[in-house]
Structure formats: C-alpha cells, structure tokens
C-alpha cells in the first residue's frame, strides 16, 4: 500500500474517542443526524436502524462455523450471526447457485477458486481491514519468510486478490481488493494410533503399506483426497508430478489407478467426509492410519486414547480459509460485516482457533489472548508447563506435552502442497468417484 493510500486511510478511520464499534452499537436514531451534520466524521451514511436488529447469515464448513463465535459476536458487537455448517461440496454449490441465501461465506481458498469467478461474492477493500498488516505473509505473498519456497497447489495468495471492486479475475500480485479476508489455516498430515502400530511412521507411503490392510482410511472430499493420494503416490516412488496441485489427465489417471488397486486389495476400511466419522474410526481402532484433521486428533485423545498427528518426511498438505461477503450485501449490513471481520482478526477468535490446533491468520493479535504457556505449546513447540486446555475448558494434553510436529515455523515451513482445484478438475472428480465406487 502506498504512503498516500495509508495517509488517506488514516484520515477516514475513527479515532480513540469515536470507534466504529461504538458507533454501530449505538446507531443514530435519525438518518443523517450527526453524520450528515459533520458532528461525527469518517463513517458512510447508513439508514436509521439499531445495530442490534441486524442479522448476518453465515455458512461454511464445520471447521470454523463455531457457536461460541456467534455468541461472542452478540456479546461484543450487538448483532446476530446465524451459522450453517455444510460439507465442502455443498458449500461450493450454495455459494454459486443460492447467492441470496447467505450474507457471509466462510470458505476455503480452493473453494474460492471455484466460486469467485461466478460473481456472487464482492471484492473487499483492504483499506477497511484494521489488522491487514498483521495477516500472515502466507496469504499475501505465499511465503512464510522471504526465502521460503511457494508450495504447489492453490496457495491462498494465488486466489486472494482481484484487480478492482468489480473484478472477478484473480490478480497476479497483491492489490487493494481481496477475495477473502484470511482467518484460519493449518498443515495437515496422517493421524495414527501408535499404540496399535507399535513402530515409527515417517512417510506418506505408509498409508498404502499392506501391513495396514483393512485398517487405513482416506478423506473422501475429491479436491482434498486427491492431494493426499498424490502425496502417497509420490512418496512410494510410483509417480513424479510436474505439479501435484495441477495434475495432467495422465497423472490423475495413474494416481487413481493406484488407489483403485489398493482398494481392491482391501487396504481401506472406510472413507470419511465428516469430522465425527474420522474420530469414530480412529477411536474404535477400526482404523490405525488415515487422513485426519488436527482437532479430530484432540477429540480422540480426549477419550484417553493414544493418537498422534504424525509429521512425515515429505511434508504437510496445507489448507486455508477466509471470510467472503455476498455481492448483495450493502448498507448497514455491509458495515456490520466489515466490523465483524475486524473483530474476527482482533485476537479473541484467533486464540480460540489456535487452541483447537489450527492457526490464526493474524497470529500477533491472537497472542494477546493467550497465556505464555499456551503460546509456547501451540506456536513455539515448547513443552507445556501446565495442562493444555481446549477452548471449552477441557484438558487436551497433560503438562509436559509437546505439540506434534513442533513449532509454527517447523510445521508451516514444511508444506509440500495446498488443497487445490486443478484445470482438469471435472476429470479428476469423475475419476475420484470411480475410485470410491470401485
């Protein structure tokens, strides 16, 4: 952002005496009063309506559609946030085909690549995002550090910006207009039951090891599952990809052929789509190695069952998500939505997400809502001095525990690929469905 833009931005934001949040919670009783007269400056004209009457409808996957967040929004901001959780495929479909059924889309970046060109979401002005400078560079440049290598796949920064307020074409470099405001991300790997396996696991190739015949599982969301399958295939030395995140038809065919061969040999106990399914498979012992999400590991451990989110030598598969605004959103509702985004990045939600095992897109603000011991465990790879507590106040780990995979830099700095939408997406989905049906 240029010095001129920063200066202009500073001049339009409210100062310490009159905050946007305070203004919204006590919205003017008469349209134009105070605002129009110039008594209060720096706010767009909004119609006479108390903010407590605003309801924003948010939908997305269950990962970050959290009831505690909606409750906190009501407490802190005064308006109502209605949340609906769907699976990834349903989220993508709804964003395109039912644009008037939602106000806020809480979606992943690979879904953004599919839906933003449809024009149902509006680009967002970064000048209105107070903590824009606190957002992780992974979402801006694609690099954790200036020397980092950009991982394969639909890295968030590749679909994170457009050229203008009416554009639906992704920009090749950061601009003033974002498609999504980043909120959450993580580095995913295989979950294992070390008590039932009884030996070290250090490669994605182990998912298809005949030793685990009938005891393995893979995630059945095509755009994500294909990436896990690619990590396995490459680790086995069966396929060398030009770009795992944008495979050719031949690469897709070879990958799926390998998966079908393994399935017909009885390798897979099941395929899962939901958080609960993955937890139940692992907790029951029906599965000992599988695709998994970080909070699912914690859920298994909370039952007193040994479960590990296993770092692997080939690296992690990463994903990220953010908040998008419906094209139809305007007026007071649009202003409330921006206020919600600014509140989201201010730290409370980020700390909540960190305690679930995810990462906040604005880690510095999340840190202010965490104890030194919590930050040390979740972000710095340090041994916990006290018990590690969940956001709900339940013990997740006992004192002395160290996070699987270590520090933030060790985990996010070892990403091999991001969840992706490929040029050959339709062909990939068709072949993936053949695998599931085989």
**How does pLDDT run across 330-372, given as a tens digit for each residue?**
999 999 999 999 999 999 999 999 999 999 999 999 999 999 9
Which residue stretches of 289-359 are H helix? 294-301, 331-344, 348-356
Q: What are phi and psi of 298, to 5 degrees?
A: -60, -35
Give the residue from 348, 368, 365, 323 showing the smallest Cα distance to 128. 323
Residue 231 has pLDDT above 50, yes or no: yes
Fold agreement (2-186+318-367, 189-315+414-437): yes
Q: What is the pLDDT of residues 270-285, one digit of tens each?
A: 999 888 999 999 999 9
Residue 234 is predicted with a pLDDT of 97
**Domain ranges across the chain:** 2-186+318-367, 189-315+414-437
189-315+414-437 CATH, one of 2.60.40.10, 3.40.190.10, 3.40.50.300, 3.10.20.520: 3.40.190.10
| Class in CATH terms, 2-186+318-367 | alpha beta
pLDDT-derived band at 188 (thresholds 50, 70, 90) equals: very high
Residue 104 is predicted with a pLDDT of 98
CA dist., res. 343 & res. 131, Å (int) = 10
Global pTM? Answer: 0.86
Give the pairing type, strands 308-310 and 190-192: antiparallel
Q: What is the pLDDT of residues 15-60, one digit of tens each?
A: 333 344 444 444 433 333 333 333 333 444 443 357 788 999 999 9
Q: Over range 396-418, report the average pLDDT.
A: 95
């Amino acid at each position: 952002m240029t010095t001129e833009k920063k200066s202009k931005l500073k001049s339009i934001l409210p100062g310490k005496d009159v905050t946007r949040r305070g203004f919204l919670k006590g919205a003017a009783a008469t349209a134009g009063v105070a605002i129009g007269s110039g008594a209060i400056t720096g706010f767009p004209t909004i119609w006479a309506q108390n903010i407590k009457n605003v309801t924003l409808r948010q939908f997305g996957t269950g990962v970050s559609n959290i009831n505690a967040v909606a409750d906190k929004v009501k407490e802190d901001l005064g308006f109502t946030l209605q949340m609906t959780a769907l699976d990834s495929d349903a989220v993508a479909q709804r964003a395109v085909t039912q644009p008037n059924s939602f106000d806020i889309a809480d979606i992943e970046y690979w879904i953004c690549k599919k839906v933003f060109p449809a024009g149902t979401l509006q680009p967002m002005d970064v000048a209105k995002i107070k903590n824009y400078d606190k957002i992780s560079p992974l979402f801006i440049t694609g690099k954790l550090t200036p020397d980092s290598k950009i991982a394969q796949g639909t890295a968030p920064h590749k679909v994170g910006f457009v050229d203008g307020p009416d554009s639906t074409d992704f920009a090749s470099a950061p601009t003033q207009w974002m498609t999504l405001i980043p909120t959450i991300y993580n580095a995913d790997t295989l979950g294992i039951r070390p008590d039932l396996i009884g030996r070290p696991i250090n490669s994605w190739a182990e998912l298809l090891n005949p030793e685990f015949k009938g005891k393995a599982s893979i995630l059945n969301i095509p755009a994500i599952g294909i990436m896990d399958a690619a990590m396995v295939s490459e680790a086995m030395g069966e396929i060398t990809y030009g770009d795992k995140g944008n495979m050719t038809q031949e690469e897709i065919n070879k990958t799926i052929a390998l998966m079908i061969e393994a399935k017909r040999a009885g390798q897979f106990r099941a395929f899962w789509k939901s958080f609960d399914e993955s937890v139940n498979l692992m907790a029951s012992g029906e599965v000992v190695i599988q695709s998994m999400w970080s909070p699912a590991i914690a859920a298994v451990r909370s039952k007193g069952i040994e479960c590990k989110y296993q770092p692997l030598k080939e690296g992690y598969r990463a994903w990220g998500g953010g908040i998008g605004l419906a094209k139809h959103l305007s007026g007071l509702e649009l202003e409330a939505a921006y206020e919600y985004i600014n509140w989201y990045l201010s730290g409370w939600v980020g700390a909540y997400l960190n305690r679930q095992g995810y990462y906040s897109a604005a880690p510095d603000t999340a840190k202010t809502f965490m104890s030194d011991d919590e930050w040390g465990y979740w972000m710095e790879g340090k041994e916990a001095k006290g018990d590690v507590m969940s956001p709900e106040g339940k013990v997740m780990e006992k004192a002395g525990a160290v996070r699987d995979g270590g520090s933030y830099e060790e985990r996010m700095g070892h990403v091999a690929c991001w969840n992706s939408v490929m040029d050959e997406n339709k062909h990939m989905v068709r072949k993936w469905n053949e695998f599931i049906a085989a």
